[in-house]
Structures are given as C-alpha cells and as structure tokens.
Structure 1
Amino acid sequence: MNRLVWRATIYSCRLTINRHGVRQFSSGAKKILIDTNTDTGVCKMKLNNPHANSLDRDMLDAAVKAIRDAESSPQVRGIILSSNSDTVFSEGLEGKEMYRRPREHLIDYWTRVQDLYLSWYGCSKPTVAVINGYTAGAGCAWSLMCDYRIMRTGATAAIGLTEAKLTPPASHFFINLMRPAINNKASELAQLQETMFDSSEALKIGLVDELDSPDNLMNKAETRLKSLMGVPAQDYRKTKLLTRQPHLNKLSGMRKQDTEAFVSAVTNRKTEIGLGIYVNACAEIERVYLDSASSCA
C-alpha cells in the first residue's frame, strides 16, 4: 500500500482514542447525531461512528436516511455536517467492509456508497461541511458533496482524496468531485500522489472555502449557511442541480457497471494485500491503545 495511505491509516486509527484511552464519540447506536432548530431551519448533523467515522454500512444507511429526511422536511432549510470528535471528520471507506468479503457483500456495500453520493450531492438544500479534523478518501469526498467547506486550523487537520487509487476505476464519481474545487491538473496530481493537504494548503488550492479556529467553526458555519438560506429555495435548487444533475445522471445510468468495477478492483490480489495491511494495522493499533488504557485504569 502507498506510504501515504499507510501513514493515514495509522494516524486515523490513533485519533479515535484520546490520551486517556476514552473514545471521543458519544456512546450508543446512533451513527449520526441530529439536532434541528425549527425556528431557524438549521439542521446540525454530527458524525458519531467510534471507528474514526469510517463509512461502514450502518454509517452509510444513517447518512442517507438523515439527508433524505432533511430534504423532505419543511422544517429544515439548510444542513451543517460535522463530527462529534475534536480531531477526526471521517477516515473514509471502512476497510473491513471490503477485505475478503463475498461478492454479494461487496455489491451491497458499494450500492450504499453510491446512495451516499446520489443523496448528498443531489440534495437541493444548502449544505455546509465543518471539517473539524483529519479526513481522507471518501470522507474528503463527502465534504466535497456539500456546497461549502469550512476547515479548522491546527496540526491535526488534513484532507485528501487518498482512496482514489485504492478502488480504481469505481471511485470516478469521487474523483470528479475534486475537479470543480481545484483545477483539473492539480486535481489529477493530488490523486495520483495521494496528497494530504494541511488546512492552509487546502484553502490555497480551493479544496476548502474558509478556515477558522476550532472554537469558532460552528458559528462561522451557521453564518455561512444562513447566507445560503437567504437565496429563494426554488432558485437555489435550480441553480445547484443545473451543474450537478449531469454527474448524478451519469452514475444513475451506470450503477451496475460502476459496482462491477468496484468489485473487480477490491478483489484484485494487489489491492487485497493492501486492504489486509490497512485492516490489520487499524486493529493492532486500537488493541494496543485499549490495552494501555485498561492498564492505566
């Protein structure tokens, strides 16, 4: 596996546990915590998956349901997507969902990933992503599905589409998300080199729209969202879908072929070896941290 993906694996695994050995997520089964202010119409969604907000099947189901519910609710006028962790937004695809899984499982998993793209990128209401930590691969892609991105400053904040090489060519709709944000050449190089950008670099190239301190991220997100909500809803929807509908239609028309490409990619021997390293490294690092926490208790 590429050295940058390996580094990202170790880093994202470590971020799921703080220095006291306590997970930085709320307990319970809810993968996404939702809070809607019916007076303002602002719906806040916080990712809450203990495994670094990785996109396992339950998280994907929760994400799709949450945005569809928000889309259909007359009480919701705009959505803020953030994380319930202080240091990680999302590490992206869940390796265990892809590693040595039967064909039926892989088809089911990728269908849910496609649903995430179609529902979030196709949402007609304003969406703002608050990138309050490290985010890679499909986590980066998820933020790019939103209309506006605000990222925290600091050493733990990094963003990149590192999974573009993990599942070629099935992730073409993820790759295409980066192109409107940065120019085609820069997008291609970032994906070929699996580059992770710190917050200042991400702002410079246009991968995110604003930066702020961790303490002020949500305030800035609400201000920006309310500005977007000030545009008449019908005008906003028409303009947004005018640019996005061709991409949505493309995936909708080739979901089966796209899924077959994904299955072929992750069952390739070379990719399978890389996924094995990824999954085993995560498991081992988490085991060491939990053992250390238990011994200190």
Structure 2
Amino acid sequence: MKEKLPIFSVFSIMTALMIALGWSEATAANTWDLLAYYGISKLNVISDQIAFGILWHSIVYMTWMPAVASLYFLIPILANKPLYSDRMGRISALLYLIFSNNVPIHHLYMVNLPVGIKVLEEVLTFAVVVPSMMTFFNLWATTKGAKINLNLISVWISIAFAGSIAAGVTGIANGDLSFDSIIHDSMWVVGHFHAMIFFSIVPAGFATLYYMVPALTGRQWYSNKLGWIHMVGYVIGTVMIVVGFDDLGLEGLMRKAEIFPLIPAYITPEILASAGAFIADTATLLWLGNLVLTLLKEELEILRI
C-alpha cells in the first residue's frame, strides 16, 4: 500500500471515472427525455444536447486514455530507462479527467448560445492541449539519448505517438470558433474522430498486442514479415481514409447527409476513403491470420510431424 500506482494504472482509474461521468450525463439526458415525453417536465432541446454532448466528447477520451497508458507503459521499456517525470505523468492524467467532460459545446457553436459561453468552451478546448503537451514532452524526454531497436513494437508505438499529435491538431482546429464556422457538423469532424482512432488509439493497441502476445503465451509471432506488411498496409489505408474525410468536410459535405450531389469534389474523396478502408482492412486481416497462426503454431508443428 505504500507503493505508488504505476502511471498506466493511474490512467486506468481516470478512464473509469470518465466512463462514470460521461454516462451519468447521458442517463440524465435520457431521463429528461422520458419525463418530457410523458409531460412531467418541459424539454429544452439545447440544454438536452449539452447534457448528452458531455458523453459525446468523453467517449473520445475513454478510448484515448488507454492508448496514452500504453505509451507510458511501453516507451520506458523500449528505451530501457525510467520515465522522465513520474509527477508530470500523474498530473497530466488528472488534467485529462478535468478537461475531458466539459467541452461538448464546441460541437454546438452554431447554436444560439451566449458568446461568453462559446469563448469559455474554446478556452477549455485549448486547455486539453496542456496535458497532451506534458505527456508528449515527458515521453520524448524519456527516449532522449536511448538506443531503441527498430521492431514492430517500437514502430507501432512511434506511429501512435506521432499520430496523436497529428490527430490532436485537427481537434484544436475543430474547437476554434472561426474555423468551426467553416467545418461545423461536416465530414471534417468525422475525419478528426477517425484520425484519433486510426492514428493514435489503434496503433497503441497494436503495439501493446505485439508486445503482450509473446509475453503471455511464450510464443514468438508466427511471421515477422506479415507483421511489417500489416503495418505498412494499415498506415497507407488509414491515411487515405482520414484525408478523404477531411477533404469532404472542407468541400462542405455534412456528416449526416444522406443525399448529396455526385460531383468530383465529393466522389473523389469518397473513393479515396473507401479504397483506403479496403487496404487497411485487408492488412488487419493479415494481422488476424498472423495472430491465429501464432496461437496455433505448436499444434500445427505437431500435425506436420
């Protein structure tokens, strides 16, 4: 009990609290909807959206925090060095919790809300950059001067590190009042969300799996070559998806549009994103096959004998 929790465990606790806070607001919004439906209370649509919107944004962090935990877990192992600043890691985890659930209004900038509230939301959105920069500096300082072998684990965790910054930049743009007037509720928002998932969250998950499967099973991966093909195919495919979605948003396509003009400005990015999804999915199926063969490797060798 006298020992401190490891940083990745602290992030796990913060994630659990985010889940509780996020879904409590969804419960409140749904209860309000039901009471209004039966005429027990009056429904204010904007307030209802804000309450439910707390869940919208916290879901991003519910999935993002385990990825950050993976970075804190794997990077010191790969660098063979202790974390640069243990305190900085703990403070950043707490700041993520504080700022994750209170910025849903930046998806409602076009609603007739007081300007002061919108500016406050803009500031709070930018405040999320603080724990992110603390995290990236902390992890970068941990690796400085270290000799890290080039392997699938180090490459995937590097993709997650760099991808988190790239995806986060599109989020900062999304939280800006002036830029939001251009891309509000467009496919740009979808592109940002997919960038967070495909560039940071999933790569951190793959890095963890490439590390944990041999550690838990005592078996090396069936094919290292399949692993590299998976990585290259996944990165190429997901870049195509995000670029396609972002381009659609900048061209003005709304993310909930069911009918839209079949013009090159929309068709070309749609084809780009669809082709990217096919490439990334095919590469991921190769990873799945590699995983199955890894788990069955000994049994297959017995069958050969």
TM range (shorter): under 0.3
Q: TM-score, normalised by structure 1?
A: 0.27
Give the helix-richer structure, 1 or 2: 2
Looking at both structures, which has the greater relative contact order when contacts are Cα pairs under 8 Å and sequence separation is at least 6?
1
Relative to its length, the structure with more strand (as a share) is 1
| Larger Rg belongs to | 2
